Structure 1
Amino acid sequence: MKKTTFIVIGAALAIIGLIAFRLSSNKKKIDVQNQLPTTTVNTTIPVTVSRVEEGDVSQQLIKTGNLIPFKEANITATTAGRVTNVNFELGSQVSQGSVLVQIDNKLKELSLEATQLTINKLKKDVDRYNTLLAGNATTELQVNDVKYNYENAMNQAEQIKKQLQDANVKSPISGRIIKKDIEAGEYITVGAVLGTVLDVARLKVDVQVNESDVYQLRLGQPVRITSDVFPGQPLSGKISYIAPQGSAEHNYPVEITVNNTNGLKAGTFVNVDFSQKSNQKSLQIPRIALVESLKNPYVYVVNNNVAQQRVIKLGRELGDKIEVLSGLSAGETVVVTGQLNLSEGKPVQITK
């Protein structure tokens, strides 16, 4: 029995030893395979390139915007009172200076009549006292008092006349009524808005023009306006304002005045064609040379068959090319394909 036990134990030990030997041998093989080579191979990356060249900027200068009214004004009350007549409706065409709202002014008319009677009496008194003064029958002080009362009454009459004029609310501009906020019988206060007039006989377009192009524009320059609403029926316009100061992005507001012969409505989307091409020259590279987006622009320049990363500043997009404002010089070579595999200092092989 004991002999059998010793045999079993011995066999087990032998099996365990064999397993340990195999594991140790396999580990050595794995370690050898995982060892990194002491030297790395600097693989040459095949790329295609393009030269940085100075070219003409022949892009047509076209901007987009929305039509806005040339003029828009509120109809505002300049005196308080009860409204007796409203002479307009929503959509009415009105002329500048036409009476749109009339306010009850009966008391002011009666006050003007009473003041006018006082003026007539004081005028006679002034004449009479001047005659008495000529005959030394009165004093100069009494004459001056009568004149003062007469002139004061004249001033009161002018004030009442102005109040009577204010009782007729007139249109501030010519145009079409787009808002009505008053009806006859209502009581209004000074400054109350009674409606809104919109002038669309002429329209305006506000667009943003970048620094490179704005210096080519001038006040009064003719502009061609087109819309999808009336295709093939362009409108004529002209530049009426160029901002003297640009934004942080170097864009300048430009205003164009448009003669609305097609009956376009404010808010319509239009294209603004400045009818000119830029004659400037600029450094240009293919757009595909950019490694990342326009917000983080950089390219790879090839120098002695080595790739060098170069951060650049971009200008206008010119079709399949893009303007370079800084970071490159004419004659340099930029990578246009294969740049995704590149890094700083990587050797390259230029292919065709």
Structure 2
Amino acid sequence: MKKNIIYTLVALALITIVVIRLINNKHTTQNRVYHYNKEKAINVQAISLTFKKVKNDISFPGTFEPNKETRISSDIQGKINSVLVDVGSIVRKGEALIQLDNSLLKLQLQSVEIQIEGLDADVKRYTVLANADAIQGVQLEKSVLGLKSAKVQRATLMEQINKTTIVAPFGGIVTAKLTEEGSFAAPGVPLLQITDISVLKFTVNVSEQELSQFKTNQIYSLYADVYPEALLSGKVIMTGSKANMGNSYPIQFSVNNTTDLKIKSGMFGQVQLKNDNNQQHIIIPASSIVGTNIKPQVYIVKDGKAILQNIIILSRFQNMALISSGLTEGDVIITNGFINLYDGANVLISN
């Protein structure tokens, strides 16, 4: 009985020690944690808005893509005797690229030619005999049908022989060589890749507010970033009817490359829109915009507090944004100091 009492007292003592230790640890942790004082003003940088004219032409970034690009495969099976081009070769439409082994097909064609020659002689002979009632007409009919069948077989073999020479479906540059002499070609297995960059596609993504600035079949000026001096003309061939993941719409242009084909697929470029608008607008730094592309916002300062304000962006150019609504002249917006900033926070402007 006494042992049970002793065990119980020891257990209670241990539990008490553990509880006290946990409470002390909690107090220590709380004392070490930084407690943010929401009443303390946050130092920010801000600017007062005024109406300005957009002096620069508006540009939109995009990417050049080939007008045509395809991977070429064989229509029939066969051993590759020779590959007539290499990576970087410029080819014309209809030019021979790969030659497959066709020796067996040519032998079969010779055999069929001999059959046709014999059947043609039989038809001529049976025609004379049938007209003289020397043979039954069915013999002539069988010879005529046999001749027709042999001619079809000859045409089939000639088509197969023609397909052993793989030709370029359009003019362009060989951008990938996926086979070598001695390999085996089969339908659906790519052998070469041809890219046509004489005409390029140039695609930009714009917001819904900017979509109306592009009209199908209209001509716009654009250039590659690495060749800003080489101005190109692009015709709008497609305007997106469905927004992508970034809630923007693709605009695609058709562009004639330079004569020396210096613009390559994958290069970045810009399409320029002339600014003929003499009206003044509210223009803010793009870095001051918070929120999302769907719901852009800025912090404006009112009575010493940061207030989130919804805005509508008309267009972006360089590192600036042109605002169509949500802000007016005299508003003070925060441009820097967004750490710990929230709607309704006390702020202290320190420009």
* Alpha-carbon contact 2:224-2:267 (below 8 Å) kept: no
TM-aligned CA distance change 1:201 to 1:320, over 3 Å: closer
Is 1:162 aligned to 2:159, yes or no?
A: yes
Is 1:237 aligned to 2:238, yes or no?
A: no
TM-aligned CA distance change 1:317 to 1:160, over 3 Å: closer
Q: Root-mean-square deviation (CA), in Å?
A: 4.2
Match for residue 202 of structure 2 among 205, 219, 229: 205
Taking the TM superposition and a 5 Å limit, the aligned residue runs for 1:113-152 are 113-152=110-149
When Rg is computed on C-alpha atoms for both structures, the one with the higher figure is: 1
Is 1:188 aligned to 2:188, yes or no?
A: no
* 1-structure distance, mates of 2:222, 2:65: 16
What is residue 255 of structure 2 aligned with on the other side? 257
* Alpha-carbon contact 1:211-1:250 (below 8 Å) kept: yes
Is 1:271 aligned to 2:302, yes or no?
A: no
* Alpha-carbon contact 2:291-2:297 (below 8 Å) kept: yes
* 1-structure distance, mates of 2:342, 2:84: 77
SS of corresponding position for 1:207: strand
Shift of 1:102: 1.6
What is residue 243 of structure 2 aligned with on the other side? 247
Is 1:322 aligned to 2:322, yes or no?
A: yes
TM-aligned CA distance change 1:138 to 1:240, over 3 Å: farther
The percent identity for this pair of structures is 20
* Alpha-carbon contact 1:299-1:334 (below 8 Å) kept: no
* Alpha-carbon contact 1:240-1:256 (below 8 Å) kept: yes
Shift of 1:112: 0.6
TM-aligned CA distance change 1:297 to 1:333, over 3 Å: same
* 2-structure distance, mates of 1:145, 1:273: 71
State TM-score, norm by structure 2: 0.65
* Alpha-carbon contact 1:236-1:258 (below 8 Å) kept: yes
Shift of 1:238: 1.8
1:135-186 alpha-carbon deviations (Å, 9 max, x no partner): 4444554433322211111110011001111111222332232322333333
Shift of 1:194: 2.1
TM-aligned CA distance change 1:201 to 1:56, over 3 Å: same
Shift of 1:91: 2.6
Shift of 1:237: 2.8
Shift of 1:241: 1.9
* Alpha-carbon contact 2:217-2:237 (below 8 Å) kept: yes
Structure 2: which 5+ runs fail to align? 1-46, 345-351
* Alpha-carbon contact 1:59-1:278 (below 8 Å) kept: no
What is residue 99 of structure 1 aligned with on the other side? 96
* Alpha-carbon contact 1:178-1:197 (below 8 Å) kept: yes
| Matched residues, number | 288
Shift of 1:294: 4.7
1:78-102 alpha-carbon deviations (Å, 9 max, x no partner): 2222222222233322222122222
TM-aligned CA distance change 1:258 to 1:64, over 3 Å: farther
Taking the TM superposition and a 5 Å limit, the aligned residue runs for 1:2-13 are none
- Letter of the 1:236 counterpart: L
Deviates more, 1:116-125 or 1:199-208: 199-208
TM-aligned CA distance change 1:313 to 1:130, over 3 Å: farther
- Letter of the 1:336 counterpart: V
Is 1:312 aligned to 2:310, yes or no?
A: yes
SS of corresponding position for 2:151: helix
1:246-285 alpha-carbon deviations (Å, 9 max, x no partner): 3152423323323233542525644323453365979x54
State TM-score, norm by structure 1: 0.65
Shift of 1:293: 1.9
Match for residue 84 of structure 1 among 81, 86, 103: 81
